[in-house]
Amino acid sequence: MKRKACAEVGIRSFDVNLPEEVPESDLISKVHELNANPDVHGILVQLPLPKHINEEKVLGEISLEKDVDGFHPLNIGKLAMKGREPLFQPCTPKGCLELLSRSGVSVKGKNAVVVGRSNIVGLPVSLLLLKADATVSIVHSRTPDPERLVREADIVIAAAGQAMMIKGSWIKPGAAVIDVGTNAVDDPTKKSGYRLVGDVDFEAACRVAGWITPVPGGVGPMTVAMLLQNTLDGAKRVIEQ
């Protein structure tokens, strides 16, 4: 999907395919090589990495100016600080806020609940909502009563990776629901033997929510669009220097 999207908008992309058993040092050397290439304006390391590779170390080696995924520790650090702006925002969280904005959903002063606290979605989207002046709560595996918190939310961002854990009865009438989860569940009626569902029970929730994203076809394409935007922004910075 990413390669096709790049081609459609005129961004030249290429893959660097390394074997799963690649030494960490070789992967970092490849990142350094791309950092030094002036024709490369964005570097994306496909996650998750093999278990023998330190993900944090590899992401930290990406040039800050080419971190189009927005996962560099300095970008995340600036995202967490008041009055600071990262060079790039993480693509999926950025896409969630863009979906809310383009749907006419005001974030300021709203009660927002994020279900999940991963470094890729849950944590950064919570920080973006906070920057947009929402009152933010995070539901995670140790939260004693997640249903109560979700019921009070004007905005729900579901990113727990648990198929249909959020029931329609949990959703506040008129709430905006962004479902980031993508989970495979058995379905013998499908040729593949499975179908994809989100973290929200879509059929039940769509009867209550004011806005809701489907799975698939909701957040995924928006994530790719934000990756393209980040890459374009990175290229423009180089040209303007």
pLDDT at residue number 9: 94
Helices (H), 118-212: 122-131, 146-151, 202-205
pLDDT at residue number 201: 97
- The active-site residue out of 2, 162, 167, 233 is 2
pLDDT at residue number 134: 98
Q: Is 46 labeled as catalytic in the residue annotation?
A: yes
Cross-strand bridge partners of residue 137: 113
What are the mean pLDDT values of the chain's consecutive 10-residue runs (241 residues total)?
92 94 96 96 92 94 95 93 93 98 97 96 97 97 96 98 97 98 94 95 97 96 96 94 82
Residue 172 has a CB neighbour count (10 Å cut-off) of: 19
- The active-site residue out of 69, 154, 199, 201 is 69
Extents of the domains making up the chain: 2-78, 91-221
Domain 2-78 has CATH 3.30.360.10: no
Residue 110 has a CB neighbour count (10 Å cut-off) of: 19
What is the 8-class DSSP label of residue 59?
A: H
Q: Is 69 labeled as catalytic in the residue annotation?
A: yes
CATH superfamily of 91-221: NAD(P)-binding Rossmann-like Domain (3.40.50.720)
Q: Do domains 2-78 and 91-221 have the same CATH topology?
A: yes
pLDDT at residue number 1: 82
Q: Is 51 labeled as catalytic in the residue annotation?
A: no
Contact (CB, 8 A) for 6 and 42: no
pLDDT at residue number 241: 82
**Best CA proximity match to 58, nearest among 91, 31, 20:** 31
pLDDT at residue number 47: 86
- The active-site residue out of 26, 46, 187, 190 is 46
Radius of gyration of the chain (CA): 19
